[in-house]
Amino acid sequence: SQELLEAGRRAYELDREHVFHSWQAQGPFKPMTIVKTEGSYVWDGEGTRMIDLSSQLVNTNIGHQHPRVVAAIQEQAAQICTIAPQHVNTARSEAARLIAERTPGDLNHIFFTNGGADAVEHAVRMARLHTGRHKVLSAYRSYHGGTQLAVNITGDPRRFDSDYSSEGVVHFMPAYTYRSYFGSETPEQETERALRHLEDMMVLEGPKNIAAIILETVPGTAGIYAPPPGYLAGVRALADRYGIIYIADEVMAGFGRTGQWFAVENYDVTPDLLTFAKGVNSGYVPLGGVAISDAIFETFRDRAYQGGLTYSGHPLAAAAAVATIGAMTDEHMVENAERLGREIIGPRLQEFKAKHPSVGDVRGLGCFWAIELVKNRETREPMAAYGGSSPEMNQVVAAIKAAGVLPFNNFNRIHVVPALNIPDELLIQALDVVDRALTIADGFVTG
Ligand code: PLP
């Protein structure tokens, strides 16, 4: 309606005057206005309807404005908007039960945070207190959050400007078959070599000082490069051998994104701590947390855990989680995510790779896929350098948006990360748009 668009224009002016945005040079930034959202659609400041292929920051796993979750937030607001974390609250208790029932193994205890970064902070703190050690091993090409410790644990360029106060944080090379650091030509080789490297890192850093290894189960923003077969089982075994806590960061990969409730289930491993956020309630109200094993819980049975937040287990966020998990379960969204990956996204991306010379690699599972664009398939020279954008990538992304699809893109990659309940025909329509934009990318291929 005209009123919505008018309000959107006013909001844009105020935004440019007063809102300080994340990760941006404030001057040239031209944010997109969103005036309405529903299911897998968003409407921009001109009132144009777009298919949301990004799930925003890969968090709206159930799509926008799911009526069951909106109603649950409204009902909770009418009852108890907020209560301090030391008091028992029905929404929080239920959310903890539903999460603990779905996490693998004995991850039976839930500490709630406001989002993913603080979940990572607390997981590391718990690991340090539990082991009495201080070092943390983390992979390059990873993202773990924007707070001081989390951004230092992160292995991507967002760390560079804050790369201090990172006492004990040590980075290692991940298993990443397409751009192997170990010269591997097969996933099996990559697993073996990456694990040998990781064990070397542990030994050289002194296992008695290493509290934790943290890994995104399937690294997300860094490129949705799923671990090669056996890698995570190997990580689990190394962690056990050296008494190191294994933290699985499932902030992006968790809650159905990979076609399982938690991504570790795809690899039959159980971490000691698992961090979550985003999909836990689709981001309708900020929420994150750490799922804690029985053994680590025991450390804090008689010893106070020195950590907390005013909004830990906030009732509005917890009620949204209860309704989200309920909707995901009743509407079989996790199973649907697996099907969409297997039947629609995977085959279509393979087709892209076969017909578009600009497509260097496609990979993923469930509703979690990346298309890696290259200028040259032989050299694998990326369409945008690590840590940057390029006029070529900008043109491809602009073409996708102009055709009515909101993509998630990073460096030389376009990610296909829709809601787990996106209707098949909308997904196919969005992939048709990406297909056409890749023809533009093909024009930039030099090799
Ligand atoms: N960990 C992973 C794997 C993430 O993808 C993110 C955010 O994208 C975070 C942690 C940080 O979460 P938040 O932005 O909620 O602090």
Mean pLDDT computed over 36-60: 98
Is residue 143 within 6 Å of ligand 1 at its C-beta? yes
Give the domain 32-65+332-442 fold.
Aspartate Aminotransferase, domain 1 (3.90.1150)
Q: What per-residue confidence (pLDDT) applies to 163? A: 87
Is residue 259 within 6 Å of ligand 1 at its C-beta? no
> Which candidate, 178, 154, 141, places its Cα nearest to that of 373?
178
Q: What per-residue confidence (pLDDT) applies to 1? A: 85
Please give the distance of CA 233 from its chain centroid, rounded to a whole number.
Answer: 21
Q: What per-residue confidence (pLDDT) applies to 236? A: 98
Q: Which residue, by CA, sits nearest to atom 1 of ligand 1?
A: 144
Mean pLDDT computed over 260-286: 98
pLDDT tens digits for 146-171? 999 999 999 999 999 998 877 899 99
Is residue 92 pLDDT above 90, yes or no? yes
User: Which CA distances in Å does 97 have to 68, 155, 367, 434?
Assistant: 19, 33, 25, 40
User: Which CA distances in Å does 116 have to 124, 151, 163?
Assistant: 12, 11, 19
Mean pLDDT computed over 41-54: 97
Query: 239: which DSSP letter?
Result: H
CATH 3.40.640.10 describes domain 68-330: yes
Over pLDDT 90: what percentage of the chain? Answer: 98
* Cβ neighbours, 10 Å, residue 188: 13
- Best mutation site among 251, 276, 410 for ligand 1 pocket (most ligand atoms within 8 Å of CB): 251
User: Which CA distances in Å does 330 have to 68, 262, 319?
Assistant: 11, 17, 16
In angstroms, what is the span from residue 144 Cα to ligand 1's centroid?
5
In angstroms, what is the span from residue 356 Cα to ligand 1's centroid?
32
How much is the mean pLDDT over the chain? 97
Q: What per-residue confidence (pLDDT) applies to 164? A: 82
Residues 330-359 as b/e (b if ≥16 CB within 10 A, e otherwise) read eeebbebbbbbbeebbbebbeebbeebbbb
> Residues near 15 by Cβ (< 8 Å), separated by ≥ 6?
31, 33
Mean pLDDT computed over 336-340: 98
H/E element holding 291?
A: strand 288-293
Mean pLDDT computed over 187-197: 98
Is residue 317 within 6 Å of ligand 1 at its C-beta? no
pLDDT band for 41, please (50, 70, 90 cuts): very high
- Best mutation site among 148, 252, 275 for ligand 1 pocket (most ligand atoms within 8 Å of CB): 252
In angstroms, what is the span from residue 146 Cα to ligand 1's centroid?
8
Q: What per-residue confidence (pLDDT) applies to 166? A: 78
SS3 222: coil
Q: What per-residue confidence (pLDDT) applies to 373? A: 98
Rg (CA), the chain: 22
pLDDT band for 31, please (50, 70, 90 cuts): very high
Is residue 249 within 6 Å of ligand 1 at its C-beta? yes
Mean pLDDT computed over 219-235: 98
> Which candidate, 82, 91, 149, 104, places its Cα nearest to that of 307?
149
In angstroms, what is the span from residue 315 Cα to ligand 1's centroid?
21
Q: What per-residue confidence (pLDDT) applies to 256? A: 98
> Which candidate, 442, 66, 104, 43, places its Cα nearest to that of 271?
104
Is residue 21 pLDDT above 80, yes or no? yes
pLDDT band for 144, please (50, 70, 90 cuts): very high
Is residue 246 pLDDT above 80, yes or no? yes
Residues 280-317 as b/e (b if ≥16 CB within 10 A, e otherwise) read bbbbbbbbbbbbbbeebbeebeeeeeebeeebbbbbbb
Is residue 223 within 6 Å of ligand 1 at its C-beta? no
Is residue 110 pLDDT above 90, yes or no? yes
Is residue 447 pLDDT above 80, yes or no? no
154 with 144: CB under 8 angstroms?
yes
State phi, psi for 338 to the nearest 5 degrees. -65, -45
433 with 439: CB under 8 angstroms?
no
pLDDT tens digits for 366-420? 999 999 999 999 999 999 999 999 999 999 999 999 999 999 999 999 999 999 9
**ipTM above 0.85 for this complex:** yes
For the record, the structure tokens of 2 come out as 């005209």
pLDDT band for 352, please (50, 70, 90 cuts): very high
Atom number in ligand 1 closest to CA 250: 3
H/E element holding 293?
A: strand 288-293
In angstroms, what is the span from residue 437 Cα to ligand 1's centroid?
28
pLDDT tens digits for 415-445? 999 999 999 999 999 999 999 999 999 999 9
Q: So where are the chain's domains?
A: 32-65+332-442, 68-330
Mean pLDDT computed over 7-20: 97
Mean pLDDT computed over 297-301: 98
State phi, psi for 109 to the nearest 5 degrees. -125, 130
Mean pLDDT computed over 14-38: 96
Q: Which residue, by CA, sits nearest to atom 13 of ligand 1?
A: 116
> Could you give the angle at the alpha carbon of 408 between the alpha carbons of 407 and 412, nearest 5°?
110
Q: What per-residue confidence (pLDDT) applies to 97? A: 98
> Residues near 150 by Cβ (< 8 Å), separated by ≥ 6?
116, 117, 118, 120, 121, 144
| Ramachandran sector of residue 146 (left: φ over 0; alpha: ψ -120 to 50; beta: rest) | alpha
User: Which CA distances in Å does 314 have to 83, 86, 123, 289, 420?
Assistant: 7, 11, 19, 12, 25
Task: For residue 7, count CB atoms less than 10 angstroms from its CB and return exposed for 0-12, middle for 13-18, buried for 19 or more.
Answer: middle
H/E element holding 93?
A: helix 90-102
